[in-house]
Amino acid sequence: MDTVIKVENLSKQYRIGAREGYRTFRETLIDAVKAPLQGLSKVFNRRSAVGGRSSGDDTIWALKDVSFEVQQGEVVGIIGRNGAGKSTLLKILSRITEPTEGRVELRGRVGSLLEVGTGFHPELTGHENIYLYGAILGMDRWEITRKFDEIVAFAELEKFIDTPVKKYSSGMYMRLAFAVAAHLEPEVLLVDEVLAVGDAAFQKKCLGKMGDVSKAGRTVLFVSHNMTAIGSLCGRALLLVEGKKLEDGNSKSVIKRYIESNHSSSAPKSLQDRSDRGGDGSIRVVEIRLGTRNNPICGFWVTGEDAIVDLAYQCSGDRTYPNIEVALGIFRTDQSPLLYLGTKVVRREPESLRGSGVFQCHISRLPLEPGRYAMTTEIKQNGVIVDLIDTATWIEVAEGDYYGTGVIWAFGGFLCDYTWSLRTPDEALKSTDILASTARSREFETR
């Protein structure tokens, strides 16, 4: 297969507190006109003449000596913590910013979706911005016209296509921008975490479209914090840590390495300095530790394995606090609730608290699919909240073999035990009769 992207010793240095010089509109427009005429190979190679290797306190290396190649038709995920250099890498590949050191070769037309609405003019309508954004991507007018109806239908904005985009919500912006970038057939599509803006149905549609783009032989680089999306869409992944490439390989193994490197420390997550909490603070959660039954201090959970969470608490003063309730709330990244784990629900409330200690919650065979979740903690005394922390910590759930079949499955958030059987019509009716009679007997017993 042909090499579409070749990155050699790429580095980018920023001066803290300084701004890069802005280019004029004329310079940008000239470059945009030249871009389609420069052939298949676009090479930019810049060596810094001043301060390129400075290690002073006023500079920071967003990227340092990153090298890799991407073949035509590959879908490559780029993962790492905030500040790892993921977005900087895509900005360099998109020619939005120049590298301090190193070399990049790109073959083919590049479509990039780095920020919601990038390339849109707020005063123009959605209709007009499709043509504007398409022109920025280097498309001819006839090519945009040929794809126009398909773009509008995909974005689900038929009723608003003649409305100025300044009146669009961020979700509408993103839908239209993604639809343009994905449908105008760039050879290379760069996508940076924009799916976080859309709803679940549209996110699924975008992932499907990126899969279609790759099947058509085009190349996708996808930055995301959604490990489930990376694992299902990307056959390969790059892990960036503090601007350096830590690992490059099969997406499943790279994701596992990322989760382990992100949470391998046995140090608990301190909440001592959290001021955004509710309650009077008479009892406070001060630390959180996550783990599994086999590794109680690993810092993450695994689908299908017994999960453990420790909440270290501290009581104020020298008194005893009776009638205590403790609860955990597990939420998706969009803050929709998933699980409520409360001591009162299972009748495991402590009689009283004094001094300091640790609440420990066990979850048998964790039913959550791989991904990222938020945890909220709550302590009540006499039914009144004394400590409440929204998003007290983030939970990374690594994929595991929930069913013990070797099949890793993700669909909608939860897994559960179930079975299938093959019955004749008569056998199925008998099963229904048994269930109905059992339900009637239970109803009679409870009267």
Q: For the chain, give the mean pLDDT.
A: 79
> Do you know the residue count of the chain?
447
**Cβ–Cβ < 8 Å for 180, 186:** no
Instruction: Report the alpha-carbon distance of residue 413 to residue 148 in Å, rounded.
Output: 35
pLDDT at 116: 53
CATH number, position 301: 2.70.50.60
Q: Which of residues 356, 374, 398 is at a domain's end?
A: 398
**Cβ–Cβ < 8 Å for 181, 205:** no
- Average pLDDT (35-48) is 42
Q: Are 162 and 275 in a shared domain?
A: no
Asked if residue 182 belongs to a domain, the reply is yes
Asked if residue 412 belongs to a domain, the reply is no
- CA dihedral (285, 286, 292, 295) in degrees, to 10, reads -160
Summarised one tens digit per residue, pLDDT across range 165-208 is 888 887 788 788 888 877 877 788 888 866 555 566 777 777 77
Instruction: Give the largest Cα separation in the chain, rounded.
Output: 87
DSSP state of 67: E
Tally Cβ neighbours within 10 Å of residue 425.
Answer: 7
Does pTM top 0.85 for this prediction? no
Run of H or E residues at 44: strand 41-45
- CA dihedral (133, 134, 140, 143) in degrees, to 10, reads -150
255 burial (CB, 10 Å; 0-12 / 13-18 / 19+) is: buried
Q: Are 165 and 81 in a shared domain?
A: yes
Q: Are 210 and 111 in a shared domain?
A: yes
The better pLDDT of the pair 391, 237 is held by: 237
Tally Cβ neighbours within 10 Å of residue 134.
Answer: 24
Q: Are 256 and 274 in a shared domain?
A: no
Number of structural domains (the chain) is: 2
Q: Are 218 and 367 in a shared domain?
A: no
Band the pLDDT of 421: cuts 50, 70, 90: confident
Band the pLDDT of 276: cuts 50, 70, 90: confident
Asked if residue 57 belongs to a domain, the reply is yes
Asked if residue 377 belongs to a domain, the reply is yes
Q: Which of residues 358, 383, 398 is at a domain's end?
A: 398
CATH number, position 239: 3.40.50.300
Q: What are phi and psi of 182, to 5 degrees?
A: -85, -25
pLDDT at 138: 73
Residue 51 pLDDT greater than 70, yes or no? no
DSSP strand pairing (236-241 vs 219-223)? unpaired
First to last CA, the chain: 72
**Cβ–Cβ < 8 Å for 130, 180:** yes
The three-point CA angle 220-121-98 to 5° equals 50
Asked if residue 425 belongs to a domain, the reply is no
Of 246, 208, 179, 213, which is closest to residue 72 (Cα–Cα)? 213
pLDDT at 100: 93
CA atoms within 13 A on the CB side of 43: 5
Which string of b and e fits 378-415 if b means at least 16 CB within 10 Å?
bbbbeeeebbbbbebbbbbbbbbebeeeeebeeeebeb
Q: Are 247 and 274 in a shared domain?
A: no
Give the 3-state secondary structure of residue 335: coil
Which residues contact residue 283 at a Cβ distance below 8 angstroms, ignoring those fewer than 6 apart? 313, 314, 315, 316, 321, 324, 353, 379, 381, 386, 387
Q: Are 25 and 157 in a shared domain?
A: yes
- Average pLDDT (386-390) is 91
In this structure, what token pair is assigned to residue 181?
């970038």
- Average pLDDT (305-331) is 92
DSSP state of 166: G
342 burial (CB, 10 Å; 0-12 / 13-18 / 19+) is: middle
Q: Which of the given ranges, 22-36, 195-209, 303-317, has the highest pLDDT on average?
A: 303-317
Instruction: Report the alpha-carbon distance of residue 157 to residue 161 in Å, rounded.
Output: 6
In this structure, what token pair is assigned to residue 34?
């030249």
Residue 43 pLDDT greater than 60, yes or no? no
Q: Which of the given ranges, 84-88, 120-124, 127-131, 431-435, has the highest pLDDT on average?
A: 127-131
The type of residue at 91 is: K
| Crossing angle of helices 170-183 and 141-155, rounded to 10° | 130
DSSP string computed for 368-393: BPSEEEEEEEEEEETTEEEEEEEEEE
Asked if residue 111 belongs to a domain, the reply is yes
How many percent of the chain have pLDDT more than 70? 78
Cα 114 → chain centroid: 14
Of 216, 217, 258, 252, which is closest to residue 233 (Cα–Cα)? 252
Q: Which of residues 205, 232, 263 is at a domain's end?
A: 263
Instruction: Report the alpha-carbon distance of residue 387 to residue 278 in Å, rounded.
Output: 5
Q: Are 156 and 222 in a shared domain?
A: yes
Q: Are 184 and 290 in a shared domain?
A: no
Domain with 389, as residue range(s), is 269-398
Asked if residue 414 belongs to a domain, the reply is no
Q: Are 280 and 372 in a shared domain?
A: yes
Asked if residue 424 belongs to a domain, the reply is no
Q: Are 76 and 156 in a shared domain?
A: yes
Q: Are 40 and 105 in a shared domain?
A: yes
